[in-house]
Amino acid sequence: MQGDDPDGSGVVGLAIRIDDIKCVLKEEERRRLAQAPIRPLVMAELGAHSGTLSRKFHEGRWEVTAYERNPKAPLHATFAAAGIGDKVKAMDMRNIESLNHCDYAHVSPNCLSNSVMSLSIHKRKEENNYEGVTVEAAEFDATVSDVADILAQAKKSNPAFTFTFEQPRSKEARNNTHIKARFEAKTSQLCCRRATFDLCKFGSRVRKRTDLWCHNLDQLVDFLGSEEDPRFICSEASPCWMKQNGGDHDTVRGKAKEYTPYPTDLVTMWKHIVDASVSSQRTVPK
């Protein structure tokens, strides 16, 4: 906009207000975003078993792939019945070549060697640095290391990449040297915050206290809480629905298929929080 020449010097100033510039820039940004292609977000679930989490993300219009090596795992039947059987990859998570295309991944390795129900077998103890004595314990440790390498590559490819890593709450898992080095060390590029919660607080009949290491997902940790800041931990002061009704928790032993899937209320909020945390990636081309 051309200004006046109040002093007759012949020098004409430009009367442009900063607010006008901001308004133009804001409109240009709005126009650019409106023209940007909106892509679906991409999620992978490693060690899916029941597939309840990846199914919820699929319902939210994410592109999902569920990896599960057990051909008898429940998700094979449920995904096929829902017409999405092609979303399941029957393979060990350690054989996955890349997650570089993903925005979010959930990892749940076989927890047998860390479960309190089988400690006498695997013998993860302080005197052996919680490495245990069984083939299953060694396989778990190798899986953690291999999957961490895959996650690190995905993080390098996409700095906004997020993931969660799940195990039953136990001192064996918390003291695992591979978990501590890759997911808890402040110097690790995969450094996480850890949430802790009980499934019974979301409607399950079992307590199953669970640790969830969360990378770049502070909102999820804040929602789920921890043992230091409990939000969904069953206790005398804050009993679950079963305890409120005078009942007792059911046992997981022998009923894993029925009781270990994440409850619907949990995966609904989980998906909502992850979606909100990475939604800006919808306009970032792959």
Over residues 261-282, the mean pLDDT reads: 92
CA distances from 134 to 47, 122, 229 (A): 20, 5, 35
Per-residue pLDDT tens over the stretch 79-125 = 999 899 999 998 888 888 889 999 999 999 887 667 666 666 776 77
Say if residues 113 and 122 touch (Cβ distance below 8 Å).
yes
b/e code 121-154 from CB counts within 10 Å (16+ = b)? ebbbeeeeebbbebebbebbbebbebbbebbeeb
> On the CB side of 13, how many CA atoms lie within 13 Å of its CA?
9
**Domain definitions of the chain by residue range:** 37-283
- Whether the pLDDT of residue 20 is over 70: the answer is no
Mean pLDDT of all residues belonging to the chain: 84
- Whether the pLDDT of residue 44 is over 50: the answer is yes
Q: What 8-state DSSP symbol labels residue 186?
A: T
b/e code 35-70 from CB counts within 10 Å (16+ = b)? eeeeeebbbbbbbbbbbbbbbbbbebebbbbbbbee
Residue 235's pLDDT band, with cuts at 50, 70 and 90, is very high
Residue whose tokens read 């993300």? 57
Residue 63 φ then ψ, to 5°: -85, 120
Q: Radius of gyration (Cα) for the chain, nearest Å?
A: 24
Residue 131 CA, distance from chain mean position: 25
Residue 105 CB burial class (10 angstroms; 0-12, 13-18, ≥19): buried
- Mean pLDDT lowest among 45-54, 96-105, 135-144, 204-213: 135-144
Q: Supply the pLDDT for residue 216.
A: 95
pTM: 0.82
The better pLDDT of the pair 142, 282 is held by 142
Residue 240 CB burial class (10 angstroms; 0-12, 13-18, ≥19): buried
Q: Supply the pLDDT for residue 3.
A: 47
Residue 34's pLDDT band, with cuts at 50, 70 and 90, is low
SS3 225: strand
The CATH number of 37-283 is 3.40.50.150
